[in-house]
């Protein structure tokens, strides 16, 4: 069946919904009702959500949870997390509580530099281009003053612009590689605006540069765009304590636990198949806070995984060691985040979440996010190296299975009792429910 449509974006929201319902559902009214059930009853609030993206037909909800007791640099944080995966928030909260009694999380922002590039093709004498760039560099600054004025008032702006010769990788390919400080904003729009002006200046000045031949004057700008690979926008989070202090209910032999934990991290450092899942666990925590704070988790993900590959092989973002009887566990991660601009000032729940975090600066948010990522990783590795990950995860997942089979209150009590000491699987829960219902 051909469902091609023209002018879809020009249809009203109701017309879009009706088109979807008529073309894809045997019971169009049921589909329409479901989509409308997820609308906000407050018309202004719904309109706000409708305007975040294009072709909106409804809202898609994700749960907002809370992980309390995060002691970060001596200050207690209650952290909002947006995620659909069960056991993630519970694991973060459990790790936060565990480390709050053992010195808490120590975090440091190592640097906050952002990067943007103008990618261009230049056919000609490289030494002439080099001289041209040196003579023109000041104009890149002066011709972006209207864009950078407000950012400079806040202590940010363009840090540097360099010319990079990339012709060994791609014929006639060069870059203007610029670094920026964007303070409490993530800075994507600011950086891209600056870069697009750099491109205009580059082309215009090249046309008027007498030493260039006609071919050299015709610089071809391919694109101007920020990079989400922020190798100089790094935050470090760490926990440490004497090995003996690791002892608790599930860690009866702290020395054995610490040694096994370190080995598990070392495996993730050298084995990419393990490293990907290891880092996914870190990103469970990172993404959940990034989403809750109205930031771009796709950019953070892309940057983090590129950073994990920076030495030519994909590896763990976190590391662990035992030294002089002290267990240490830490990570370093690139995080370009903002607490002003974008969704942070528009989405009511994002504003609420930033209030819960006590209105952090971008640097404070970076530190909270890194600490949650480390907490998540600690929780996963603690489970993996002790009782295994499935026991806790499947207990949390049991609710989802019961919801799927529309279990009654009475059935839930019996199921929970039955699986208290029995291995949980989707099939075994379904089988037991069927038995109860007979």
What CA–CA distance (Å, rounded) separates 72 from 288? 18
50 catalytic? Reply is no
* Cβ atoms within 10 Å, residue 392: 17
Task: Yes or no: say if 287 and 301 are a contact pair by the CB < 8 Å rule.
Answer: yes
Report whether 122 contacts 150 (CB < 8 A): no
Catalytic residue among 114, 287, 296, 397: 296
Find the catalytic residue in 16, 114, 393, 397: 393
- Catalytic entry in 97, 280, 321, 347: 280
SS3 125: coil
What residues form DSSP beta bridges with 235? 109, 333
387 is known as an active-site residue: no
Is-catalytic flag, 130? no
Q: How many C-alpha atoms does 8 have within 13 Å on its Cβ side? A: 13
Catalytic residue selected from 13, 49, 85, 301: 85
**How far, in whole angstroms, is CA 47 from its chain's centroid?**
26
165 labelled catalytic: no
Residues 6+ apart with CB under 8 A from 62: 82, 83, 84, 291
d(CA 240, CA 258): 11
Residue 299 buriedness (CB in 10 A; 0-12 / 13-18 / 19+): buried
Q: What is the CA radius of gyration of the chain?
A: 27
| Strands 173-181 and 157-165, sheet pairing | antiparallel
* DSSP state letter for 338: -
Catalytic residues: 85, 280, 296, 393
């Amino acid at each position: 069946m051909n469902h091609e449509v023209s002018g879809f974006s020009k249809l009203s929201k109701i017309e879009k919904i009706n088109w979807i319902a008529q073309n894809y559902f045997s019971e169009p009214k049921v589909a329409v009702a479901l989509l409308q059930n997820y609308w906000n009853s407050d018309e202004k609030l719904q309109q706000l959500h409708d305007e975040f993206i294009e072709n909106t037909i409804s809202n898609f909800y994700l749960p907002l949870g809370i992980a309390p007791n995060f002691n970060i640099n001596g200050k207690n944080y209650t952290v909002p997390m947006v995620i659909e995966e069960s056991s993630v928030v519970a694991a973060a909260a459990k790790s936060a509580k565990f480390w709050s009694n053992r010195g808490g999380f120590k975090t440091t922002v190592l640097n906050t530099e952002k990067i943007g590039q103008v990618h261009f093709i230049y056919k000609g004498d490289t030494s002439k281009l080099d001289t041209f760039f040196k003579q023109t560099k000041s104009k890149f600054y002066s011709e972006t003053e209207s864009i950078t004025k407000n950012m400079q008032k806040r202590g940010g702006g363009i840090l540097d612009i360099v010319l990079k010769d990339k012709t060994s990788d791609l014929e006639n390919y060069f870059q203007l590689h610029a670094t920026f400080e964007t303070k409490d904003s993530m800075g994507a729009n600011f950086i891209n605006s600056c870069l697009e002006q750099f491109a205009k200046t580059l082309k215009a000045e090249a046309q008027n540069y007498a030493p260039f031949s006609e071919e050299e004057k015709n610089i071809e700008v391919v694109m101007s765009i920020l990079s989400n690979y922020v190798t100089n926008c790094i935050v470090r989070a760490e926990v440490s304590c004497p090995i003996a202090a690791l002892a608790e209910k599930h860690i009866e032999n702290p020395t054995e636990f610490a040694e096994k934990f370190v080995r598990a991290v070392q495996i993730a450092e050298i084995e990419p198949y393990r490293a990907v899942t290891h880092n996914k666990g870190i990103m469970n925590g990172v993404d959940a806070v990034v989403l809750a704070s109205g930031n771009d988790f796709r950019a953070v993900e892309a940057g983090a995984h590129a950073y994990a590959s920076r030495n030519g092989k994909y590896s763990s973002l976190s590391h662990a060691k035992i030294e002089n009887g002290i267990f240490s566990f830490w990570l370093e991660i690139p995080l370009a985040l903002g607490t002003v601009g974008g969704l942070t000032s528009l989405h009511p729940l994002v504003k609420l979440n930033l209030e819960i975090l006590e209105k952090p600066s971008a640097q404070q948010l970076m530190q909270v996010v890194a600490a949650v990522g480390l907490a998540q990783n600690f929780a996963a590795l603690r489970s993996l190296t002790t009782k295994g990950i499935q026991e806790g995860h499947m207990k949390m997942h049991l609710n989802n299975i019961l919801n799927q089979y529309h279990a009654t209150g009475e059935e839930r009590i019996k199921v929970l009792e039955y699986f208290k000491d029995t291995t949980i699987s989707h099939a075994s829960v379904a089988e037991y429910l069927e038995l109860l219902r007979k």
